[in-house]
A = this chain, B = another copy of it.
């Protein structure tokens, strides 16, 4: 079996990954937020590409049950209920609700991965949970890093590398998977929170006053859920 890492989705062409497990990773902050929302009993998360789609969907689903979440340039979108910080997705706000989510890179990566037989969402928060799940499946694994507008994101690369480090001994590794592993090894030496704080996106979040999200998104193994995308909805996978 093979483990591969897509470091930059725009480099990967069309998705032809049927028959595989895809793990979508966007540490800062989409997958950390999805994991948090579902752990706080959101009914489901629906990823969409554009704010316009989100507004239309809310109208269709009804305002009572539906929350619009997401960001552009890190900030809450005008007319939306929530931004893209995990701290906004508390039980009080999200329990029982459908969250329609659009973010700059994360929801794109999710929708790109949609062709795989199984699409799950990884972050440092649910690292143990996703690895425990993956090792039960006799399939090739592709970790899809959201990256950052056509570039690699070091925090996503490190998360992918941590998955490779934890489960990789059962798999052949591509060059991409090895590069991710080397990045994780470095992150492990520096410490996750410090490492993520020094990435380009980490520094950007500090600049716009959202530094506290860095610690939130590196709280390793704090949430034992595996989000799964199926038929357009992200819900908790029971296995």
Residues of A within 8 A of B (CB): 7-8, 10-13, 148, 150-154, 157, 174-176, 178-179, 182-183, 185-186, 199-201
Q: Would B176 and A12 count as touching, CB distance under 8 A? A: no
Number of copies: 2
A175 B151 Cβ-Cβ under 8 A: yes
Main secondary structure, interface of A, reads helix
Q: How far, in Å, is A199 (CB) from chain B's closest CB?
A: 6
Task: Determine the distance from Cα of A8 to Cα of B150 in the docked complex, in whole angstroms.
Answer: 10
Q: Are B179's CB and A183's CB within 8 A?
A: yes
- Cross-chain contact B150 with A175 (CB below 8 angstroms): no
Whether A179 contacts B154 by the Cβ 8 Å rule is: yes
Chain B residues lying within 8 Å of A186, measured Cβ to Cβ, are 182, 185
**29 residue pairs A–B, Cβ–Cβ below 8 Å:** A7-B8, A7-B179, A8-B8, A8-B11, A10-B11, A11-B11, A11-B150, A12-B150, A148-B175, A151-B174, A151-B175, A152-B175, A152-B179, A153-B175, A154-B175, A154-B179, A157-B179, A175-B199, A175-B200, A175-B201, A178-B183, A178-B199, A179-B179, A179-B183, A182-B182, A182-B183, A182-B185, A182-B186, A185-B186
Q: How far is the CB of A27 from chain B (nearest CB, A)?
A: 12
CB distance from A3 to the nearest CB of B (A): 13
